[in-house]
Structures are given as structure tokens and as C-alpha cells.
Structure 1
């Protein structure tokens, strides 16, 4: 496909894959220059596949943030792995992210085997978090990671510092095939406002609850309504698995859920461009992580 100046138009999908907390969502946000994917220090923060779209006159680059690949302990974990592997199978370019601060282990080896078997035309090894790893550590990690699979190139980045983010975009863009514009030019993410609202609320829960119960928490945005004065009224439900977890989310005197709501509302107002009234309800759904229908209703599973 060529434009009016006879310059080939290229387009394609770049899958970011790796272990949990490898820095995939942080790199996606850095590429976009704004926050669209949630991040936290808690493993398996990413549950919803996120596609970010970067348009130029001659290309369309679609970057896919996938859930971290891990050994699943329940149906939710299996669904997240399936979603990530499906994106890996269909990508034109695969970027395998490895954390520079953690020794390469069997989990990385397992992910690398899937990268090796992918049909992508270009496979890039990306060593992340270079800003918090020393030069010797980066060198050792790069050497160890490069042995995991056959890569076409390798790159060291720090998404938080913006180091080599432009280089990453140039590398993957240079290996896109000729193709159509898959998404409209004005579209920068293929998630709905409801999807993003739910994710922003879940991020704040992860950040404040840390290891107390994050993996038992799911969030669904039930409704977004707009008033005549322009403000948005949002209803969202937080799912937990036990009554005791509901008490943790609410906090003493409702202080925790109030804090989560205040912080999530700031991101949502930036997203929607208007004042927001956010009402959060906590509901107990026993063993929802083992219920495939509930998992997919929340948008965490593989799309059919």
C-alpha cells in the first residue's frame, strides 16, 4: 500500500512480552507519552490486554501490552497466560522484556521458548530498568538474556527516564510490513472509557493494598453518565472473594475506599476531560478468580 507520494505505508502489531513486573506497561506509557496502562510494584498488575496506536503519515504502529507470563495458580492466571500467548502468536514484531535488576531464571527461559517459537519477522530483546541497575549488572544480564533465544537485535532501556524509548520505537517501526491503517487516525488506544476507568481504580487498590489482597480484587465500571453541566457520574464495582477482604478495601471508617476513589478520580478526570463523580461499591463474589465467565466479564480473559 502506497500513499500519494508513492511511499509504502507500513503497519503492524508489536507485542511486549515477558515475566510479571518486567516493565511492559511502563514502556508502553513512555512510548505514548502519557499514562494509558496501569502500573504498580505488584506482580501481575496487567490483566487487560492494551493496544496503543501510534500514527504517522506513512505508518501505524500498534503496541500491545500483555499480561506477564507466569505459572498459573487459578483460572484467572490461565486466562491471562492464554491472552498473552495469543498476542505473541499474531504479532509482526515481538519485544521480549527482561528486568535488568533480577537474575535471569526459569520463568524467563519459559517465556523465551514461546518467543523462539513465534512467527514474528523481527524479535527484539529489551533489557529494562537500566536506571536502577549498575553497568556491570546490565552487562551480565544482557549476556545471560541473549542466550535464551535467537534475537535479531537487543536494546537497553529505562522507560521511567526516557532512555532509548525513541530508539525502541525506531527499531520496531523499521520492521513493520506494508499494510493498512488498522485503526482510525484519532484513536490512540483500543480500550473503552469504561475499561480505563476500571483499570485506574484497580491500580489505586494495588498501590495501597500491596500484598494484602490485590490478586483477589477485580473492578468493573458499570456505567458512565453525563449530566447537563458536563460532569460525569460513574458507578463502579470492586469485587473481592471474602467478607474480610471487603473490610480491608473499605478500610476503617471507609477511609481506604475514599482514598482510592479520590486518587482514581484524578486520572479519570484527565481521561474524560471533565469533573467526575465516582461511586465505588464493594461486592463479595466468592472464588471469582476460578469462574471463567466472571473473569471474561471483567475483561481479563482471552477474547473470543
Structure 2
């Protein structure tokens, strides 16, 4: 890691917070130019603090995409909310992302109350402006401005890329001169196994409904290169809480699991630039979301 700083080079840490499903991961992936955080239209997609690195000649920003702050219903939920709230004091800037198509709710008000307890400057980022008429933005801005003194209020569409350039520039304007924490070509500090597991979990989220998405965890059991060095062999397990969920994931004659594997393999090949052999299997771990030992095994808690 090169810590040498050229004059005028800026760096800092930015936390992205907001209710579930407001587009935090979409924004993060758009900024860094590739998929780091998984995207889904189901709430609470992000479970860990995803770190993404954005580097230009101007500077380097390390983004923390946190789980959506929500009322927890399990130990996993407690962990997710704690991760999101703990980042507020660790960073130089907070991006509070809201959905322009959704009315302000108790979840937004809860986040604002948490923001009032920290000294970190906050930008209000109004996402999904491509889905509303421009005249609808002013009432939203006025509504939120009454609740908190935001450093800036910036409307964007993370999906379409609308106004994201000015947002990035505003972030750099807020940063002070500092070192390059990561090499310029690095886009995340997560190991390849973590990203691969997240890509597989994303496909399950896309292809299943109801209680199944929240009941899964994915672990990469083995990841190795073949003798030719060009093929990556990946063996991964998808954990569920009930036998009925296992049946859903496997599907009739194994078709669901095959489709999850096919879509995952294509994404992993795009990410790695190599041919991938992917083998998946499904395991049942009863009520794993409320078992601290299992949560630790799945990487949700740091070891003491």
C-alpha cells in the first residue's frame, strides 16, 4: 500500500446509510463501475459492511455500504443494524439515501435521530428521481430540510447515473488532503470468496420469493485453480433454515439450483475474467439467524 501523498490529493471515508431498498448498493456499484454490492428489489439485501474504493487523480474515497437500518426481528437483524449505526462515527461524511418515490416514514425519522447524535457532516441523497416528476422534488427537499440541517441535498438516479457526477465532486470537495489508502486499481477490500458468495446469494434473491431470501446464507467451501491455471473451480454451499426451503431452492428435477448456478457462474466469470466451474449444494441449519455461533461461522461477527 502506497501511503505517499502528492500535494492536493484528497482521501476519506464515506458511509452510505438509509432504509432498506432505497438504492444504496446500486449507487455504490455505479460509482466504482462494477458490481461490489449485490442488488435486489428485496429489503435487507446487504448484510455486511461492504467496502468499495473509488480512486481518481483527484483523490481516493472509501465507501462503506451498510445494511439498511430497520427494526430487527432476529439476532442477524440486530447485527445488521449495529453495523450500520456504528459506521456513523467512523467516517468523514455520511450519505443518507432516500427513495424519491416513497413517503418519509418512521424508518427515515429513526435514522435522522441517530444522525443528530453524531458530528459527521451529512448529505441527503434523494435517489430514483427518474421515477418522479421534477416538481415533486421540492416538497421532498422542504420536508427533510425541516428535520435536519444537511450539508448538501443532492437528487440523483443511481440506476440511470443522473447527477452522480456532481455528487462525486461534492464528496471530494468535502474531503481533506490525505494518503492513498489502497492501490489505485483496487475496488474493494473484501476477499474474492466473499464477493463470489454474495453473487450467488444475489441470484437466490432474484429467483425466490417470500421467506426464502431472508433465510439463506452462502459459504464458499473451496476455491482453486485447475492445473491449466485458466479454470477456477468453486464449491459453495447455500444454507437454509427449513427442509421446505431446501426443496424450493433445488426445484423440480434440480432446475432451480441449476439456474442459480448458471447465472452465478456467468457473473463470476465476468468478475474474474476466467472460465469457472461452479458446484452448488443446499444444506439445512435450523434457525441459523438466531444462533450466534452460526452467525460467527458465516462471518457476521468479528472474532474477539
* Shift of residue 293, structure 1, vs aligned partner: 2.7
Q: Deviations over 1:8-42 (max 9, x none)?
A: 33211010000000110000011112222111110
User: Could you tell me whether the CA contact under 8 Å between 1:200 and 1:264 is conserved in 2?
Assistant: yes
Structure 1 equivalent of residue 217 of structure 2: 218
- Report the TM-score, using the length of structure 1 for normalisation: 0.94
Greater mean alpha carbon deviation, residues 143-152 or residues 78-87:
143-152
- Counterpart CA distance in 2 for 1:128 and 1:100 is 6
- Counterpart CA distance in 2 for 1:29 and 1:105 is 26
Structure 2 equivalent of residue 246 of structure 1: 246
- Counterpart CA distance in 2 for 1:47 and 1:96 is 18
- Counterpart CA distance in 1 for 2:303 and 2:270 is 28
- Secondary structure, counterpart of 1:189 in structure 2: coil
- Secondary structure, counterpart of 1:117 in structure 2: coil
Structure 2 equivalent of residue 263 of structure 1: 263
User: Could you tell me whether the CA contact under 8 Å between 1:116 and 1:150 is conserved in 2?
Assistant: no
1:10–1:108: structure 2 CA closer, same or farther, 3 Å change rule? same
Q: Deviations over 1:95-150 (max 9, x none)?
A: 00011011001110001111222231x21000001111222333322222223322
> 2:111 aligned with 1:111, yes or no?
yes
Structure 1 equivalent of residue 139 of structure 2: 140
Structure 1 equivalent of residue 51 of structure 2: 51
Residue segments in structure 1 that go unaligned for 5+ positions in a row: none
1:149–1:297: structure 2 CA closer, same or farther, 3 Å change rule? farther
> 2:198 aligned with 1:196, yes or no?
no
User: Could you tell me whether the CA contact under 8 Å between 1:250 and 1:257 is conserved in 2?
Assistant: yes
- Counterpart CA distance in 1 for 2:268 and 2:182 is 23
Q: How many residues align?
A: 301
- Counterpart CA distance in 2 for 1:268 and 1:30 is 18
* Shift of residue 48, structure 1, vs aligned partner: 1.9
* Shift of residue 301, structure 1, vs aligned partner: 4.1
Q: Deviations over 1:149-178 (max 9, x none)?
A: 221110000011110111111011111123
1:303–1:37: structure 2 CA closer, same or farther, 3 Å change rule? farther
- Counterpart CA distance in 1 for 2:85 and 2:303 is 12
> 2:237 aligned with 1:237, yes or no?
yes
User: Could you tell me whether the CA contact under 8 Å between 2:4 and 2:180 is conserved in 1?
Assistant: no
- Counterpart CA distance in 2 for 1:209 and 1:20 is 18
- Counterpart CA distance in 2 for 1:225 and 1:125 is 43
- Counterpart CA distance in 1 for 2:21 and 2:100 is 11
1:50–1:69: structure 2 CA closer, same or farther, 3 Å change rule? same
Residue segments in structure 2 that go unaligned for 5+ positions in a row: none
User: Could you tell me whether the CA contact under 8 Å between 2:217 and 2:239 is conserved in 1?
Assistant: yes
